[in-house]
Amino acid sequence: MKVRISDDAVALACGADAVAAEFEKAGAEVERVSSWGMHWLEPLADIGGLGYGLVTADQVAAILAGTAPSIGPIEAHPFLARQDRLTFARAGKTRPVSLDDYYATGGWVGLAKARSMGGDAVIQTVLDSGLRGRGGAGFPAGIKWRTVADADGQRKYIVCNADEGDSGTFADRMVMEGDPFMLIEGMAIAGLAVGAQKGFVYIRSEYPHAIAKMTSAVSACARLVAPFEIEIRVGAGAYVCGEETSLLNSLEGKRGEVRAKPPLPAHEGLFGQPTVVNNVLTLAAIPWIMANGSEAYAGYGMGRSRGTMPIQLAGNIKYGGLFETAFGITLGELVNDIGGGTASGRPVRAVQVGGPLGAYHPVSDFNLPFDYEAFTAADGLIGHGGIVVFDDSVNMARQARFAMEFCAAESCGKCTPCRLGSTRGMETIDRIITGENRAENIELITDLCETMKFGSLCALGGFTPYPVMSAINHFPEDFA
Amino acid sequence: MTALADIIAAHADKEGPLLPILNDVQAVFGYVSEEAVREVAAALNLTRAEVHGVVSFYHDFRKEPETRRIVKLCRAEACQARGVDALLADIGETPRVKIETVYCLGLCSVGPAAMVGENVHARLDAERLTALMASV
């Protein structure tokens, strides 16, 4: 009997290794695969398509005897059946670093097509697909690629930003741990399109499992992507290195300080050479787009947000995990219908969308469609697609204070609004919390947030006002 | 200091070798000493100030060895929403175990989460965190 259990970090953290060992001890053949992304069920055992959730070692005998309750056929589970899995098509189904599994599920088709089309046609395909940068900024990927392709440089680079530091996000980690060849294939296609010889994947040090899987995947497929070369680099615990210019400085061996733009990295990036810096999810979407065509991808989504977004349901949510769907689904559907509300069973009070620099939304925003422009219009952002749910025990003044505290801890120090503003902001919110001149201090923090928003060099200082001001504007009772 | 020389030699041909070298120094020695800063600077033709600037910028690099065992506990928003602050109010550090704050381990759907070495732990409550701290 073959039992499939994930070896993704969430599964491991929930005890998957002990469960796998128990199945082996009982004589079953255990295959370690990627995670389906139904995290509330991990460790999830898959036996011939039937799922067993929250498995513990002492349930193994009953499962093998057929007397344990099953969640039914995994693929038919409503959480999965409602998704449009393009980037996560292999999730739960393949062994992450098995080249055989990758070939058998359509791997390398996109790269072969790209090689036969040539760079210009590849860029046109990416442009036509409407793919926008999934790291948060939402800049059209094809335009960035075109800029690098047209730039003059002795060398060109593809840099994959895998410094996924936003709380509430884990899709990059799941790609790297679950389907690393897809990311490598995407980078090789990018290299071919813009004429880059070398790629770097900059992975945060908090992701040791992703680092290990990516390292073995890169060496396993080196001959398949040659002459393009990929090197894995590991960060050193700095959130700000997720900002692209700071990441480039870090790769060069410098302090991870933000660079002023212009020059754009596309013109003068890594070591001063034209560089594509793309997020993991952007590059991971490329093989599907190449294999299935730009029209098929652009057929998903709404407005100027085309394709699918791997949305991450996190925090105090009943059914947390990875939900890939076309743009346009509403925040309320995601939190209530799919996520099942809070894990604590208490009412939802606030939802932070887009990581620590994203706005806190009240339940009255639940009709917002998941779309770059719609969230911008509502003074928010979708960022990297993380959704963190809070129940009614949350104190929004404390959350606003934490946003400033986080900015102060992680500021690179290059620009004044972020370096000083975050600490002064923390002090000002402390005064509001203790009831000192509340009205004046709220006016002061509002003014400070304006300065940070428009005066900071990058999104760390520039977007910290989103969580702070959204907390003040939507939850004024917590500041009174 | 042959170990240090080996680390430097292993990365010398890389483009931008400083961070890979410092990551290995931290992993092997548990901290980045003044002596290591001097040797790395000399090997890469950098000033000590430049290397010191990099060491002091990144949270992962220690200037002194840490004698206690370290439990890295996520205290970012997703784990806050799942009660990490209340958990910490109940359970503090011990003379043997240091609880170090990290911002996000990517286990945001199953928090509160912690990492010891490269081993990850999720769904922590008071009992499980206490057991984890006793086991490290």
Closest CA to A144 of A261, A226, A239, A51: A261
Over range A444-449, report the average pLDDT: 98
Report, as an integer, the average pLDDT of A367-390: 97
- Beta-carbon separation of A253 and B54 below 8 A: yes
How far apart are alpha carbons A358 and A335 in whole angstroms? 16
Predicted local distance difference test score (pLDDT) of residue A316: 98
Q: Residues B95, B116: one domain? A: yes
Question: Is the per-residue pLDDT at A383 higher than 70?
Answer: yes
Q: Which residue from A14, A236, A255 is facing B123, i.e. has the nearest CB?
A: A14
Closest-CA residue in chain B for A392?
B81
Question: Would you state the pLDDT for residue A408?
Answer: 98
Residue recorded with tokens 């060109």: A156
CB atoms within 10 A of CB A268: 18
Residue position matching structure tokens 């009070």 = A349
Question: Are B123 and B95 members of one domain?
Answer: yes
Helix (H) or strand (E) holding A65: helix A60-65
Task: Nearest by CB to B108, from A208, A209, A312: name it.
Answer: A312
Instruction: Tell whether B64 is covered by a domain.
Output: no
Asked if the bond preceding A262 is cis, omega within 30° of 0, the reply is yes
The rounded distance, in Å, linking the Cα atoms of A280 and A182 is 10
Backbone angles phi, psi at A112, to 5 degrees: -60, -40
Claim to verify: residue B120 and residue B93 sit in the same structural domain: yes
Q: What is the pLDDT of residue B93?
A: 86
Two tokens, residue A2:
């073959």
Integer angstrom CA distances of residue B1 from A399, B8, B39: 47, 11, 10
In this structure, is residue B74 part of a structural domain?
yes
Q: What is the pLDDT confidence band of residue A480, given thresholds at 50, 70 and 90?
A: confident
ipTM over 0.85: yes
Whether residue A286 contacts residue A126, with contact meaning beta carbons closer than 8 Å, is answered with yes
B95 and B73 share one domain: yes
Give pLDDT, residue A411. Answer: 98
Nearest to A77 by CA among A95, A64, A91, A87: A91
Peptide bond connecting A227 to the previous residue in cis, omega within 30 degrees of 0: yes
Within the 290-329 window of chain A, which residues sit less than 8 Å (CB to CB) from chain B?
312-317, 320-321
Q: Which residues of B touch A208 (CB under 8 A)?
A: 118
A195 Ramachandran zone, left/alpha/beta (phi>0; psi -120 to 50): left
Looking at residue A392, its pLDDT comes to 98
Look up the CATH number of the domain holding residue B125. Answer: 3.40.30.10
Q: Is the pLDDT of residue B2 over 80?
A: no
Question: What would the pLDDT profile of A424-441 be if each residue is shown by its tens digit?
Answer: 999 999 999 999 999 999
* Residue A301 β-bridge partners: A306
For the residues A441-448, what does the mean pLDDT come to? 98
Residue B63 within a domain = no
**Which residue, A178, A192, A261, is CA-closest to A224?**
A192
- Cross-chain CB nearest to A164 (options B58, B106, B109): B106
To which residue do tokens 């990850």 refer?
Answer: B120
Q: Are residues B75 and B131 in the same domain?
A: yes
Cβ–Cβ contacts within 10 Å for residue A155, how many?
15
CA B114 from centre of chain? 12
**Edge-to-edge, what's the strand order for the sheet holding A348-353?**
A321-326, A308-315, A386-391, A348-353, A360-362
The pLDDT-based confidence of B31 (bands split at 50, 70, 90) is very high
Residue B62 falls inside a structural domain: no
pLDDT in tens, A335-346: 999 999 999 999
Whole-number Å distance between alpha carbons of A304 and A262 = 25
CA distance A378 to chain B (A): 21
Q: ω into residue B65 within 30 of 0, thus cis?
A: no
> pLDDT tens across A199-213, in order?
999 999 999 999 999
Determine, yes or no, domain membership for B31.
Answer: yes
Architecture per CATH, A396-479: Up-down Bundle (1.20)
Q: Which of B108, B110, B121 sits opposite A42 (nearest CB)?
A: B110
Q: How are beta strands A2-6 and A45-47 bridged, if at all?
A: antiparallel
Determine the straight-line distance between the first and last CA of chain A, rounded to whole angstroms. Answer: 62
User: How crowded is residue A271: how many other Cβ atoms within 10 Å of its Cβ?
Assistant: 15
- Contact of A83 with A325, CB cutoff 8 Å: yes
Q: Is A116 exposed, middle or buried (0-12, 13-18, 19+ CB in 10 A)?
A: exposed
Q: Tell me how far apart the alpha carbons of residues A233 and B20 are, in angstroms, rounded to a whole number.
A: 7
Give the distance from residue A140's alpha carbon to the nearest chain B alpha carbon, in angstroms.
26
Query: What is the tally of structural domains in chain B?
Result: 2
Instruction: Provide mean pLDDT across the span B77-106.
Output: 94
Record: contact A170-B14, CB cut-off 8 A? no
Mean pLDDT of A382-389: 98
Residue B79 lies in a domain: yes
Same domain, B53 and B76: no
Amino acid at the residue A137: A
Instruction: Give a yes or no: residue B21 inside a domain.
Output: yes
Contact A352 B77 (CB under 8 A): yes
- Asked whether residue B1 carries a pLDDT value surpassing 70, the answer given is no
Domain A301-391 architecture = Roll (3.10)
Q: What is the tens place of the pLDDT at every residue in A14-62?
A: 999 999 999 999 999 999 999 999 999 999 999 999 999 999 999 999 9
Specify whether B34 is located in the same domain as B92. Answer: no
Average pLDDT, chain A: 98
Same domain assignment for residues B21 and B50: yes
- List, for residues A230-269, the tens digit of each pLDDT value: 999 999 999 999 999 999 999 999 999 999 999 999 999 9
DSSP characters for A200-244?
EEEE-TT-HHHHHHHHHHHHHTHHHHTTSEEEEEE--S-GGGGSH
How far apart are the C-alpha atoms of A192 and A20, rounded to whole Å? 41
Residues 230-249 of chain A whose Cβ lies under 8 A from any Cβ of chain B: 231, 233-239
Identify the contact set of chain B against chain A, taking CB-CB distances under 8 A: 14-20, 22-23, 26, 44, 53-54, 57-61, 72, 74, 76-82, 102-111, 113, 115, 118-123
Q: Is beta strand A308-315 parallel, antiparallel or unpaired with respect to A386-391?
A: parallel
Asked if residue B76 and residue B126 are part of one domain, the reply reads yes
pLDDT value of residue B90: 87
How many whole angstroms separate alpha carbon A360 and alpha carbon A164? Answer: 20
Task: Decide yes or no: CATH 3.40.640.10 for domain A99-298.
Answer: no
Q: Could you tell me if A185 and A220 are in contact, meaning their C-beta atoms sit under 8 angstroms apart?
A: no
Q: A86-143: per-residue pLDDT in tens? A: 999 999 999 999 999 999 999 999 999 999 999 999 999 999 999 999 999 999 999 9
List all residues of chain A from 163 to 222 with a beta carbon under 8 Å from chain B.
164-170, 173, 205-209
Ramachandran bin of A107, using left for φ above 0, alpha for ψ from -120 to 50, beta for the remaining angles: beta
A145 pLDDT more than 70: yes
pLDDT at B92: 83
Classify domain A2-81 at the CATH superfamily level: Glutaredoxin (3.40.30.10)
CA distance B12 to chain A (A): 12
Q: Which helix (H) or strand (E) covers residue B72, if one does?
A: strand B69-74
Q: How far apart are the first and last CA of chain B?
A: 29
Domain chopping of chain A, boundaries: 2-81, 99-298, 301-391, 396-479
Q: Is residue B27 in some structural domain?
A: yes
> Which of A10, A214, A281, A384 would you mutate first to test chain B, the one with the most B CBs within 10 A?
A10
The DSSP-derived string for B8-76 is HHHHTTSSS-HHHHHHHHHHHHSS--HHHHHHHHHHHT--HHHHHHHHHHSTT--SS---SEEEEEE-S
Domain boundary among B57, B77, B94: B57
The tokens describing B11, both together, are 């990365």
Residue labelled with tokens 């057991």: B131
The range of the structural domain enclosing residue B131 comes to 69-135
Å from A160 to nearest chain B CA?
Answer: 16
Tell me if A325 sits within 8 A of A352, measured CB to CB: no
B74 and B41, same domain (yes or no): no
What does the pLDDT read at residue A350? 98
pTM for the full model? 0.98
Kindly state whether A10 is in contact with chain B, defined as any CB-CB distance less than 8 angstroms. yes
Per-residue tokens: A31 = 């295959």
Distance from CA of B81 to the nearest CA of A (A): 5
CB distance A209–B17 less than 8 Å? no
**Which residues of B fall within a CB distance of 8 Å from A402?**
77, 80
Distances (CA, A) of B124 to A56, B11, B88: 16, 38, 11
Confidence of residue B135 (pLDDT cuts 50, 70, 90): very high
Residues B18 and B50 placed together within one structural domain of the fold: yes
Mean pLDDT of all residues in A440-444: 98
